[in-house]
Structure 1
Amino acid sequence: MINVLIVEDDPMVAEMNRFYLEKVDGFRFGAWAPSPEEALKLLDREPFGLVLLDLYMKQENGLELLAEMRQREWPVDVIVISAASDKGSIQRALQNGVVDYLIKPFEFGRFRDALVAYRERHLLLRDRSSLDQAELDALTRRTAETPSAAQLPKGFTRQTLRAIWQAIEASTGESFSSEEISASTGISRVSVGKYLSGLAEMNVLEMDQTYGTIGRPVQRYRVVAGGRSLIAAYL
C-alpha cells in the first residue's frame, strides 16, 4: 500500500480527496496537513510514498513546500491538485518533478487515472532492477501526449473496451482467455478475441499460446508491466 499525505488547507476539499483516494486500490490515506508547516513536520517523522499537494493555501504557497521537499531530498512523489492553472505555477511544479498535475475542478476519472498510472510506475520501479526502452516509454509518456488517447483503434468502441477491461481487472487468475472474458461480459468470444488481440498489439497485454488436451491451441493473455498506464488513455 502506498502511504499518502494530503496537503490541503480546506478541510472539505481534503475530505473529498481522501474519499476519492480510498476508492482506488493500492493506496492508504496516511495523514492530512492543513498547512505546509504541518506537512514538513509529518514528512520529517513518517515515510510517505505520495503527496497530494494543493498550491493555493492561506499560510504559504505549495510551491515553496515542494521546493523545500526537493531540497531535503525526501524520497516522496508529488501529484499537484490545485486551482492554479497559470503557466508559471505549472512550469515550476514540473521543474520540481511532480508526477502529475490536476487542475480543480476535476472529474474522478481523471483523478483515478493519475493514481492508477502512478501505482503502475511505483510497482514497476519497485519490482525491477532495470528497465528496457518500452517499459521506460510507458513510464514517461503522459496521457495527454499520446496521440491515440482520443482515438480508439479501428473497430473498437469505448463502451465495449471498458466492459472488457473491467472484466480483465476482475479476473482472479494471472492470465485469462477470450472465452473467460466472454463469459463474464456477455460479449461474443469473437469480439472479445478481437479486442484482446488489439490490446496485445498496443503493448497492453501479452499473449501465450498453449495446447489443450485435444491439441487445439489456446491463447491466454496477461497484463504487461505498465499496461494499465497505457490503457488509461483509452478509457
Structure 2
Amino acid sequence: MTRVLVVDDDFMVARIHRGFVERVSGFEVVGSARTGAEAVELVAALKPDLVLLDLYLPDAFGLDVVTRLRAARETCDVLVITAAKEADAVRAAVRQGVVGYLLKPFAFGDLEQRLETYAAERARDLGDDLTQQEIDAAFATQPVSRPAGVALPKGLSGETADAVCAALRDSPQTLSATECAEAVGISRVSARRYLEHFVTSGLADVTLRYGSTGRPERRYRWR
C-alpha cells in the first residue's frame, strides 16, 4: 500500500481528499495535517510515501514545508494540491521536485489519474546496471495536465504550457487570452501563443465573440 498524508487547513476539504484517495486501489491515508508545522511532525512520525500538500497554509507556504522536509532528510514524495495558479508557484514546485501539481477544485478522476501514474512510477524496477535509455526514462517526467506526446514549438516551456492548460481546463466558461494571462501570471501575448498552439494541436477550440466595434474577441475552450 502507498501511505498518504493529507495536508490542508480546511477540515472539510481534507476530508474530501481523504475520501478520494481511499477510493484508489493501493492507497491508504495514514493521517492529515492542517498546518505546515504539523505536517513536518507527522511526516517524521508516520513516514508516509506521499504527501498531498496544499500551498496556502496558516503558518507557512507549502513549498517552504517541502524545503523543511528535505532539510530533515525526509524522502516522501509530494503532490501539490492548490488553488495557486501563478507561474512562479508552478516553476518553484518543479524546482522542488514535486511529482504533480493539481489545481483546486478538481474531480475524483483528476486525482485518480495522478495517483495511478505515481504508483506505476514507484513500481518500476530500475535494476543496478542501467543503459542510457533506461536512465533517460527514469528522469522523464509526465506533465500533470498537458497530454503526453504533444510537442511544444520552440520558445514555449512545458511548465507554462501545463499552467495554461490547467487554467483552460478548470475554467467553467471560455477564456480570452487576456483572462488566461491573468489566471496564469504571464503576458497576454504569451498566453495567446500557448492557446493557439493548443488549438492547432486539436486540444482546444476557439470561437469568436463579436462586439459592437473592433475585431471579434477570440475565446478558447479545452476539448
Please give the range of the TM-score, normalised by the shorter of the 2 chains. Answer: 0.5 to 0.7
- Partner residue in 1 for 2:67: 67
| Identity in percent | 34
Matched residues in 1 for 2:42 and 2:106: separation? Answer: 27
1:74-93 correspondence to structure 2 within 5 Å: 74-93=74-93
Aligned-residue CA RMSD (Å): 2.2
**2:10 equivalent to 1:10:** yes
CA drift of 1:46 comes to 2.0
CA drift of 1:95 comes to 0.6
What are structure 2's unaligned runs of at least 5 residues?
A: 152-223
- Partner residue in 2 for 1:105: 105
Whether contact under 8 Å (2:30, 2:46) holds in the other structure is no
1:120-199 correspondence to structure 2 within 5 Å: 120-125=120-125, 128-129=127-128, 133=133, 137=137, 140-143=140-143, 144=146, 146-147=148-149
**2:42 equivalent to 1:45:** no
Q: TM-score, normalised by structure 1?
A: 0.58
How many residues align structurally?
148
SS at match of 2:124: helix
CA drift of 1:73 comes to 2.2
What are structure 1's unaligned runs of at least 5 residues?
A: 150-235
Change (3 A) 1:148 1:32: same
What are the Cα deviations for residues 161-196 of structure 1, in whole angstroms up to 9, with x where unaligned?
xxxxxxxxxxxxxxxxxxxxxxxxxxxxxxxxxxxx
- Partner residue in 2 for 1:186: none
Whether contact under 8 Å (1:8, 1:35) holds in the other structure is yes
Q: TM-score, normalised by structure 2?
A: 0.61
Matched residues in 1 for 2:41 and 2:106: separation? Answer: 29
Runs of 4 or more consecutive aligned structure 1 residues displaced over 6 Å after TM superposition: none
